[in-house]
Amino acid sequence: MSKDSKDKNRYDNVAAGSRRRFLVGAGTALGGGALAWSMTGCEEGTTTPSAAPTPAPHKGQEVHAAPGQLDDYYGFWSGGQSGEIRILGVPSMRELKRIPVFNRESATGWGATDFSKKLLGGTMSGDTHHVHLSYTDGTYDGRYIYVNDKFSARLARVRIATMEVDKIVDIPNSQGTHGIFPQRHKTGLVLCNSEFRIPQPNDGRDMDDPSKYAAMHTAIDGETMELKWQVMVEGNMDLCATDYTGDYSFATCYNSEGGVTLEEMMAADLDHLYVFNLKAIQAAVDAGKTIEINGAKVVDARGADSEFVMRVPVPKSPHGVNITPDGKYAVVAGKLSPTCSVVQIDMLADAFAGKIKPRDCVVAEPEVGLGPLHTAFDGKGNAYTSIFIDSVMTKWNIDTAIAQFKGGTESPILDKVDVHYQVGHTNASMSETKEADGKWLVALCKFSKDRFLPVGMLHPENDQLIDMTMDKLEVVHDGPAYSEPHDCVIVRRDIINTLQVQDRKDDRFAMYDAWAKADGIDIMSTNKVIRNGKKVRVWMTSQAPKFGMNEFKVKAGDEVQVIVTNIDNVQDLSHGFAVCNHDTNMLINAQDTQSITFTASSKPGLYWYYCSWFCHALHLEMRGRMFVEA
Ligand code: CUK
Ligand code: CUA
């Protein structure tokens, strides 16, 4: 038997065995067999590549982008533990750029420049899971990208015009900031879930008393990136979503048990979708009905349902929550239940008013496969749910699922396509807007196993592209990805407009302008060394292929700040500034200014500085001498 067919059999056996169980408990398929299987699908030891059979020619949309041809969509991928955001072209799946966010990056100097250091505050790693763009009137407005840091409870914002981070905010009283989602009716609040429950306040009290732990649903102002309020709830929160009207935000709660071990967290057959009533919360905040914890205004909504928070019971350890493009339904993926729960949003007001029970708002619960995680939409009434354990994408019809829930006999399941392997997030072109267009679906697979040449113990992930314009879903591209994208959004290219040269409008420039004013210099033309005790500030221009200064002198151990302004006014004419043997490099784009501060070597001598980004035929000659005097 070939390795492929052996693996296929093993897959079939596990999947068939697991499907018999409606709910999955600890020690059954997910707890033991299936997950263990997914981790050990390959034989131990070394592997040799064995290619899958050549697929039949694809009959749907054009996938390949020929040389020089542009993609129709931008894909914004989170970078997981790499701490970054990545930009891909869709459908070619070509990686176009990485935006460093919470990570230190050598190429651009992010995390080393003065501005990025100020934003990062010394925390140089991050875990980005969820990347979402700002909205106006239910669709992307092309202004900002928001992304979470799960490691250190932060939210960052990228200005789309520059594709650079312009703000980072710390989220207090939170650990494991995971799901985030901006409001969709306007650029308003960005809601952020803390996944891990902690004592409140977390100051050494109640450390070993989980009954006292709580989690925060936090609202950050998407314009100012300031903390507005927090709502404290008893259960943990995983994924986040907002409606299209500004009334509600949502959080899945997989640990309503309040457990601290795996077994405890998986005990209950029903957990919750938390529904947050944003107007009631805002009214309480405005009326001062909050408590203060570490400077945050906190609405305490623990325990029972209230005007602030309602708990819709859904099976079991739910993960993703996604809102249909028409704004009518929240689709909650069951994770440990092979179902998605469809919650009708316009029934929530009656449930808040006590006229119906929260569970009455669940209007469908189709069986979609084992381990449903996330759902995308085509804007034509169909949903596409990623199924982790079965390694499939399931296409299902929402109206048929609702009819089935009322007793109808037609199956809502329209198609299932194998993906390779263990798909986490999925998303589709414009899926999270009212303009969902049903063109391209991606499956972000956590394991790639035999799909690529072996590259050592850590395999790439496999971001697969699926054509969703035909009756049958068809995988049309394997996209190896470095660890570890969780989520992505796919955005029509006409929405994204970026600068070719810097417009100098970010906060960063106010900082340089203040320094220039203090030093009495013209930032765009002055080349000057200004000494202030042990501190030396070097103002320098760059214009291909020369720096404005061929040499400067400092003393051993000086604190040296170099501020470089790239006065070239030409698209893609970027320079770098690197100082040999000083762990110092930064990128300076056209018409941009960047600054970096370092300590001059304790060893007197000559240290060359040079342009590290290829800019000109005489790029190698673009350098100068830093003399470090005793
Ligand atoms: S989570 Cu990773 S697969 Cu962080 Cu959105 Cu679902
Ligand atoms: Cu300037 Cu290379």
pLDDT of residue 24: 44
613 in ligand 2 pocket by Cβ < 6 Å? Answer: yes
**pLDDT of 36 over the 80 cut:** no
**pLDDT of 288 over the 50 cut:** yes
* Cα–Cα distances in angstroms (integers) from residue 117 to residues 161, 469, 597, in the given order: 21, 45, 10
pLDDT for 221-244, tens place per residue?
A: 999 999 999 999 999 999 999 999
623 in ligand 2 pocket by Cβ < 6 Å? Answer: no
Candidates 338, 368, 340, 421; CA nearest to 18 is 338
Q: How far away, in angstroms, is 70 Cα from ligand 2 center?
A: 27
Q: What are phi and psi of 54, to 5 degrees?
A: -60, 125
596 in ligand 1 pocket by Cβ < 6 Å? Answer: no
Strand (E) or helix (H) holding 283: helix 278-286
178 in ligand 1 pocket by Cβ < 6 Å? Answer: yes
Q: Work out whether the CA dihedral 35, 36, 37, 41 comes out positive or negative.
A: positive
> Where exactly are the structural domains of the chain?
171-311, 508-629
**pLDDT of 23 over the 50 cut:** no
Q: How far away, in angstroms, is 574 Cα from ligand 2 center?
A: 7
Residue range 319-329: average pLDDT? 98
pLDDT of residue 146: 98
Residue range 287-303: average pLDDT? 97
pLDDT of residue 60: 86
Q: How far away, in angstroms, is 594 Cα from ligand 2 center?
A: 15
pLDDT of residue 48: 56
The model's confidence at residue 50, banded by pLDDT at 50, 70 and 90, is low
Ligand 1: atom nearest CA of 150 is 4
User: How far apart, in whole angstroms, are the C-alpha atoms of residue 47 and residue 164?
Assistant: 40
Of the listed ranges 261-270, 388-397, 615-624, the one predicted with least confidence = 261-270
User: What is the DSSP annotation of 159-220?
Assistant: ETTTTEEEEEEE-TT-EEEEEEEE-SSSS-EEEEEEEE-EESS-SSTTTT-GGGEEEEEEEE
Whether omega for the bond prior to residue 484 falls within 30 degrees of 0, making it cis, is yes
Residue range 81-97: average pLDDT? 98
129 in ligand 1 pocket by Cβ < 6 Å? Answer: yes
Ligand 2: atom nearest CA of 616 is 2
The model's confidence at residue 52, banded by pLDDT at 50, 70 and 90, is low
Residue range 581-602: average pLDDT? 98
Look at residue 261 and give its three-state secondary structure: coil
Taking the domain 508-629, which CATH number applies?
2.60.40.420
pLDDT for 103-156, tens place per residue?
A: 999 999 999 999 999 999 999 999 999 999 999 999 999 999 999 999 999 999
Residue range 343-354: average pLDDT? 98
pLDDT for 432-444, tens place per residue?
A: 999 999 999 999 9
In the numeric block, the tokens 């967290």 are attached to: 265
Residue range 515-525: average pLDDT? 97
Residue range 188-195: average pLDDT? 98
pLDDT of residue 134: 98
Q: Which ligand has the nearest atom to the CA of 193?
A: 1
Identify the bridge partners of residue 145 per DSSP, sorted by sequence position: 133, 158
Q: Which residue's CA is minimally distant from atom 3 of ligand 1? A: 424
pLDDT for 449-491, tens place per residue?
A: 999 999 999 999 999 999 999 999 999 999 999 989 999 999 9
pLDDT of residue 51: 63
Please give the model's pTM, rounded to 2 decimal places: 0.93
> What is the chain's length?
630
Ligand 2: atom nearest CA of 612 is 2
Strand order across the beta sheet in which 362-364 lies:
321-323, 329-333, 340-344, 362-364
425 in ligand 1 pocket by Cβ < 6 Å? Answer: yes
Residue range 525-533: average pLDDT? 97
User: How far apart, in whole angstroms, are the C-alpha atoms of residue 93 and residue 71?
Assistant: 9
Which residues, other chains included, contact 224 with Cβ-Cβ below 8 Å and sequence gap of 6+?
A: none
**pLDDT of 311 over the 60 cut:** yes
232 in ligand 2 pocket by Cβ < 6 Å? Answer: no
pLDDT for 400-418, tens place per residue?
A: 999 999 999 999 999 999 9
Q: Which residue's CA is minimally distant from atom 1 of ligand 2? A: 575
127 in ligand 1 pocket by Cβ < 6 Å? Answer: no
* Count helices and strands in the chain by DSSP H and E runs: 8, 41
Of the listed ranges 12-26, 297-311, 314-328, 605-619, the one predicted with least confidence = 12-26
The DSSP symbol for 437 reads: -
Look at residue 352 and give its three-state secondary structure: helix
Ligand 1: atom nearest CA of 444 is 3
Strand (E) or helix (H) holding 516: helix 507-519
The model's confidence at residue 62, banded by pLDDT at 50, 70 and 90, is confident
